[in-house]
Structure 1
Amino acid sequence: MSIWEKLKARRQLIKAFRTAQIYRSYSTDNGDRYILPKIHSVAINDHSTEYVFTLPTGINPDLLKKNFYVFQQVFGKQIELDGEIKRFVLTVYKTGITKELTYRYSNDILPVIEGFKIPIVCGMDRNGEWVVYDAIMEPNALISGEPGSGKSTQLRSILTTLIKYKSPDELHLYLGDLKMSEFHLFKGVQHVKSVATFPDELERMLSQVYNEMLNRSRLLNATGVMHVDDLPADKKVPYILLAIDEIVMVMDNKDIKSMLVQIDSLGRALGIYNILSLQRPSHDILDTKIRSLLTVRMGFRTTDLSNSKIIGTPGSEKISRETPGRFYLKRDSLEEIQAPYLTEKAAKKVLESYKSIEWKNGCNGYSMQSDDVLTERDVFFDAN
């Protein structure tokens, strides 16, 4: 990065300040003088240019939001402005987020999840880097979005990745499919211990997970360790991931709600993790107690600002219908992500090899037939 690149970048920011009238002025005998924001640093890398500046005393910070469009005229649409009161950071990205991200396990996913225990692959950020977190550190997540926004595909790719990454002895999956349309793909997979499609089935499934949670609590107490990872080899237990789609359908059931709260509160040390999803959140469905436990939020396109605020991902109401799979990820901070796209047919093909012999020999399993030809859009999926 040369001094000339920095000077050019500074001149662009000064131009934006002047055009947006972000300055203080005063008159002198020699004419008007201007006090512009102070630029503390300019950092340029392969992906972006980052400016740090402070506003002069007396400048209303709201002027930055009001005139944000001016900064977009100078720098383009791919910019972010963070900060409050006086000190701000403006990031100008050289490229935008990819509009379509194909799911390739071997080439793209596996290299970035090696070393994780329960990797949750979110997608790719605007720097072209994969965003992954480990559920053993951030155990509970909420995924929300309108039909067609990419929520269901995200759940599909997360579960498929975990099935490929962990053995059936290392990870058990308990799935709640209350719409009866999302998790049928996973029936018969050796990792999957239950797929509940009706509220009474879900309650029984949660009771099973809840009782396992109590057993693990007693086991940790008896062995004197703090986490299931620290158990002796002869007492090791598999991780458990609970995923429930359209949880709104059972949140009026006090027993289900109580078990979910306790599982989410205590599950981290016990190796039990949870992903809940729903289309349209509301305060009465996701009360403060539950929301406080779902520390990771994925907000796909929502109907309005109110819904996006309930999820904790303001801005998701502005996501275009032309960019399915785009969402805002809320962890320590809020960032825009593109989720990987995995078709149902491609997922069926790869999951077939993980299904039990008993399931394959039965009449309820899916078998890839010779006439099941993948379309060009499906071919991207790398099953190896």
Structure 2
Amino acid sequence: MSDGTIRKVFPKIHSLKISNEILEYVFTLPNGLNPKLLKENYFVFLQHFGKSIELEGEFKKYVLTVYQQAMTSELTYNFEEFKESLKEHRLGIIAGLDRYGKYVSFDLLKQPHILIAGETGSGKSTQLRSILTTLIKTKKPSELELYLADCKKSEFHIFRKVEHVQCVLSSPREIKRMLGHIKQELDERSDLTEVFEVDHIDNVPVEHKRPYIVVCIDEFVMLRKDEGIMDILTEIVAIGRTLGVFAILSMQRPNAQVLDTTIRANLTVSMGFKLRDKVEARIVNTPNAEKIETSGRFIMNSDKLYELQAPYLKQDEAKRLLNLFMVSKEAKEVNQEEQPITEKDVFLDVN
């Protein structure tokens, strides 16, 4: 001021919403105040309101939401609780429980291809187990085929004898041959949509119907050096949606070279569990995933950003739920004209 006094200028609060669930402050910053100051001093909000808060906005207008109750820190998998919310989807995925105690689900046909990333112990593996178990329980083997690849040889053995599961692989050589079969299937389905002049494989005549295919690869970063494998994965995520072929890819350490622009742009759902730093969170497109402290908690980026608690499904419980779908499998082939591959061959690398 001209008289030497200092006038303090504060953000202007425009509204305050109070309910049983939240306190919501809508405010604007004074002109000339650097918005970076909010991020740099975010700890002040945490100190005053606690950890159950969310700050959204940019440049000038912001919304601070203070949740009255903290999110649950553990959510036991209970299919009966969320099966109703799956009925509206053709190929439904239960992601987790939000801050308001509501299950968040989505349809792979509308939001195809999932990327899951997280450190060891973050909840990534049990989320994979939960997703696959739910798919098996909601679709018949004639409606859904699962192709599972586990480069660490530790995650998918419990699914090996499930009727929906076409193969469980671990070696890059066998995974490449399996993806060759998927490539052939993509070509055949593409031909069908062209012959019958339809925009989706679901719309071909009944006698030509094909089951949905989900290819799930854990630690696919270990396959990055094989250009043939990466080319087919890129094709799956680029054109698989209209052909009923979907990918679920997971990794512990997100890598920008592996998640190139084409793959990243077509992985429409990203689930970031606890990640090492901001760089990894940015690669997965799940901001603040590096700040997560609770196992099973993750940031999901799909139609919008969510903070969710994933269903926790123990391996023994998964085996019990899957027991109904177990069959005896002998020399089951993954059809590929030149080099048929049998489950006997496949499992040499797993055992």
2:66 counterpart letter in structure 1: V
Matching residue within 174, 184, 190 for 2:157: 184
Tell which structure's C-alpha radius of gyration is larger. Answer: 1
Q: CA deviation at 1:188?
A: 1.3
Mean CA deviation greater in 310-319 or 261-270: 310-319
Q: Contact between 2:238 and 2:263, CA under 8 Å: does it hold in 1? A: no
Alignment correspondent of 1:235: 208
Helix, strand or coil at the partner of 2:275: coil
Alignment correspondent of 1:148: 121
* Per-residue Cα deviation, 1:270-327 (whole angstroms, up to 9, x for no partner): 111110011112222222222222121111112222222222223222222xx21111
* Per-residue Cα deviation, 1:78-124 (whole angstroms, up to 9, x for no partner): 11111111111111111111100000001x12022111111111111
* Distance in 1 separating the partners of 2:181 and 2:22: 49
Matching residue within 296, 303, 307 for 1:336: 307
Answer yes or no: is 1:74 the counterpart of 2:48: yes
Q: Contact between 1:312 and 1:330, CA under 8 Å: does it hold in 2? A: yes
Q: CA deviation at 1:35?
A: 4.4
Q: Sequence identity of aligned pairs in percent?
A: 48
Helix, strand or coil at the partner of 1:283: coil
**Residues 19-98 of structure 1: matches in 2 within 5 Å?**
35-98=9-72
* Distance in 2 separating the partners of 1:325 and 1:278: 15
Q: CA deviation at 1:225?
A: 0.8
* Distance in 2 separating the partners of 1:204 and 1:358: 20
Q: Contact between 1:281 and 1:307, CA under 8 Å: does it hold in 2? A: yes
Matching residue within 272, 278, 297 for 1:326: 297
Mean CA deviation greater in 56-65 or 85-94: 56-65
Q: CA deviation at 1:358?
A: 4.8
Q: Contact between 1:27 and 1:33, CA under 8 Å: does it hold in 2? A: no
* Per-residue Cα deviation, 1:131-177 (whole angstroms, up to 9, x for no partner): 11111111111111111111110000000001001111111111111
Q: CA deviation at 1:336?
A: 1.7
* Distance in 2 separating the partners of 1:45 and 1:273: 41
Give ranges in structure 2 of 5+ residues lacking alignment.
331-343, 345-351
For the aligned residue pairs, the C-alpha RMSD in angstroms reads 2.0
Q: Contact between 2:79 and 2:134, CA under 8 Å: does it hold in 1? A: yes
**Residues 1-384 of structure 1: matches in 2 within 5 Å?**
35-106=9-80, 108-320=81-293, 323-358=294-329
Structure 1 runs of 4+ aligned residues shifted over 4 Å read 26-29, 31-35
* Distance in 2 separating the partners of 1:358 and 1:57: 69
TM-score (norm 2): 0.89
Alignment correspondent of 1:3: none
* Distance in 2 separating the partners of 1:137 and 1:44: 35
2:220 counterpart letter in structure 1: I
Q: Contact between 1:121 and 1:132, CA under 8 Å: does it hold in 2? A: yes
Q: CA deviation at 1:27?
A: 8.4
* Distance in 2 separating the partners of 1:48 and 1:231: 48
Helix, strand or coil at the partner of 1:56: coil
* Distance in 2 separating the partners of 1:171 and 1:223: 22
1:88 counterpart letter in structure 2: Y
* Distance in 2 separating the partners of 1:196 and 1:37: 57
